[in-house]
Chain A
Amino acid sequence: MTDVSNRNQLAYIAAQASDARVNVEFETEGMTLNLGPQHPATHGTLRVIVKLDGERVLRADPMMGYMHRGYEKLAEVRTYPQVTALVNRIDWLGSFANEVPFILAAERLMEVEAPPRAQWIRTILFELSRIANVILFLGDMGVQLGAVTPAFFAFRDREFVLNQIEAVTGGRFHPNFDRIGGLKDDIPKGWIEETTGVLGRIRTFCDEIEDLVTGNEIFQARTRGIGVIPPEVGLAYGLSGANIRASGVDWDLRRDGGVGLAHDQVDWKVWTHPDGDSFSRYWVRLQEVREACGIIEQLLGGIPSGPVMAKVPRIIKVPAGEAYVETENPLGVMGYYVVSKGDLVPFRVKIRSASFSNISITPWVLEGTYVPDVVSILASLYFILGDIDR
């Protein structure tokens, strides 16, 4: 028989035991989640190994190389005009923009300069490929967060941009139009008016997307304050393009780079956002599409007359030397370091692609977030697999 004090003690022990059992039940276990290499959120074949504690991400490691095609090695056995056909396919959404820095580097080595008309048309096509690229991001961001309709809008209006690129270059996806010393051809008749019409459509698309997505309560809740990247961390990881401008860093190579494109001839603005979260990355890109429409419209109004090709030898041998040129591509800074030994083929081509640096921040930014936010952050960082793995 137990007395009262003993019973109290027993009750206390029983309470302790039940508490302990509850603790055991609620104890979370580590789990490893494989995102990819086949996953709709990875734009291809990126694999992210996410170590979870319950819903919280302890560690995320991007595994690359599922789309490694060996561009740098292949460029060593291709002649200079052949390399453009190859590098088209690095960032497959904005193909023309990939050719430009390589051609500029080769032109710098050969000490030729494209005629002004070629530079202007180059800039127009450069910005058109930016629109073709970023439009798909605006649609895809909705898909990743559960809204399929923006993707249909994006694919619908992207067709018109691709038609305009095809009308000039003959290639819907991979133009291969840039040549050392200018362009392959001039623009066709009536193209300027048609392009102005298409720009109107793109502006309408931006307004529609703003109505559909930007003000949406669910979209805001899933992107505002999620995946915040402070400017100093972003710079330390080598972010570029809209990702770093969304953190408030006012840096755009189109304005600051001084490479041979016609961006300094027109009046435009670099958009930044102070927040650095997923929403601001989306918002900056939306404004950049509008800004690109403005740039193209101004350039279309004043294309100088003249030839589109400078005098270059038929068989291109680039003199010995090395050059590094980087431009502000749709995904960020893209640069080519070309070393020539005076041959038909480059001796070495190092490609600095934007997505490779952009994706390197994922372990830092994903740490401590929740599983549903992983997809939203990955989508807002916006990478393309060909651009990561090369």
Chain B
Amino acid sequence: MGLVENGKMPKPLTALLNISRKYSLWVYQWGLACCAMEMGAAFASPRYDVMRLGVIPFPASPRQADMVVISGTVTDKMAPVVRRLYEQMPEPKYVISMGSCAHCGGPYWDSYSVTKGIDQIIPVDVYVPGCPPRPEALLEGIVLLQERIASEDMTDRWTRDPIVVS
């Protein structure tokens, strides 16, 4: 088992593990603001139906989740809660920042109570721009994240750049 900690897993085993992780991403069910409704449309509506991608939006506890979508404005009052929920998630964990509010403050860039960028408090893997992004954009972000997971090596997990959906 020492191999796993060193990041020197046998290639076929890594590939197998990555495929299984890629198609069973459990998303934490958590909405913040307007984007949560578009996230809900992507997750719950029959038109977009995220479950066909192997993403399961059921866990109501961060301890069961692999991925979290920060969907909306994070205020300074909410920021400690976001951090705490992120820390409760088990590794490996992924964060999708959805909408301009979560990236940089968005329309509230000069507000006194809004955190300008969720990346100040937790590391972000995928940025999905828009105000709010269409459900299709969120789906593309998830697909890009899955592609990255498929070819993921545990050693370079912490040094890579985030994906930006464009």
Q: Do A74 and B34 contact each other (CB < 8 Å), given the known contacts A38-B81, A67-B75, A156-B45?
A: no
Is the CB of B37 closer than 8 A to any CB of chain A?
A: yes
Task: Report yes or no: B33 in contact with A44, Cβ–Cβ below 8 A.
Answer: yes
The number of chain A residues touching the other chain, given as a range, is: 20 to 34
Which of B15-23, B105-113, B140-148 lies on the face that meets chain A? B105-113
Task: Report yes or no: A73 in contact with B112, Cβ–Cβ below 8 A.
Answer: yes
Which of A85-93, A304-312, A340-348, A362-370 lies on the face that meets chain B? A85-93
Give CA–CA (A250, B40) in the complex, Å.
34
Is the CB of B78 closer than 8 A to any CB of chain A?
A: yes
Which residues from 36 to 72 on chain A have a C-beta closer than 8 Å to any C-beta of chain B? 37-38, 40, 43-45, 65-70
- Label chain B's interface by main secondary structure: loop
Task: Report yes or no: A386 in contact with B110, Cβ–Cβ below 8 A.
Answer: no
Task: Report yes or no: A152 in contact with B46, Cβ–Cβ below 8 A.
Answer: yes
Which residues from 59 to 80 on chain B have a C-beta closer than 8 Å to any C-beta of chain A? 60, 72-73, 75, 77-78
Give CA–CA (A151, B40) in the complex, Å.
10
**Of B34, B72, B108, most A-chain CB atoms within 10 Å:** B34
Give CA–CA (A25, B45) in the complex, Å.
49
Task: Report yes or no: A155 in contact with B60, Cβ–Cβ below 8 A.
Answer: no
Q: Whose C-beta in chain B lies nearest to the C-beta of A64? A: B77
Is the CB of B157 closer than 8 A to any CB of chain A?
A: no
Contact with A along B13-32 (1 / 0, CB 8 A): 00000000000000001111
Q: Whose C-beta in chain A lies nearest to the C-beta of B42? A: A155
Q: Which residues of B contact A136 (CB under 8 A)?
A: 37
**Min C-beta distance of A44 to chain B, whole Å:** 6
**Min C-beta distance of A375 to chain B, whole Å:** 13
Q: Do A172 and B134 contact each other (CB < 8 Å), given the known contacts A66-B77, A73-B112, A152-B44?
A: yes
Instruction: Determine which of B40, B85, B108 lies in contact with A38 in the assembled complex, contact meaning CB atoms within 8 Å.
Output: B85
Instruction: Determine which of B29, B41, B114, B132 lies in contact with A69 in the assembled complex, contact meaning CB atoms within 8 Å.
Output: B114
Q: Which residues of B contact A38 (CB under 8 A)?
A: 30, 81, 85
Instruction: Determine which of B30, B72, B113 lies in contact with A70 in the assembled complex, contact meaning CB atoms within 8 Å.
Output: B113
Contact with A along B83-126 (1 / 0, CB 8 A): 00100000000000000000000011011111000000000000
Q: Which residues of A contact B134 (CB under 8 A)?
A: 172
Is the CB of A159 closer than 8 A to any CB of chain B?
A: yes
Q: Which residues of A contact B36 (CB under 8 A)?
A: 44
Give CA–CA (A33, B114) in the complex, Å.
27
Q: Do A385 and B113 contact each other (CB < 8 Å), given the known contacts A66-B78, A152-B44?
A: no
Task: Report yes or no: A69 in contact with B44, Cβ–Cβ below 8 A.
Answer: no
Task: Report yes or no: B45 in contact with A386, Cβ–Cβ below 8 A.
Answer: no
Q: Whose C-beta in chain A lies nearest to the C-beta of B107? A: A86
Give CA–CA (A80, B78) in the complex, Å.
30
Q: Do A155 and B41 contact each other (CB < 8 Å), given the known contacts A44-B33, A68-B77?
A: yes
* Interface pairs (21), CB distance under 8 Å: A38-B85, A44-B33, A44-B72, A45-B81, A66-B81, A68-B113, A69-B114, A73-B112, A74-B110, A86-B107, A89-B33, A89-B34, A152-B44, A152-B45, A155-B41, A155-B45, A155-B47, A156-B45, A172-B134, A174-B132, A385-B33
Which residues of B are at the interface with A, using a C-beta cutoff of 8 A? 29-34, 36-38, 40-41, 44-47, 60, 72-73, 75, 77-78, 81, 85, 107-108, 110-114, 131-132, 134
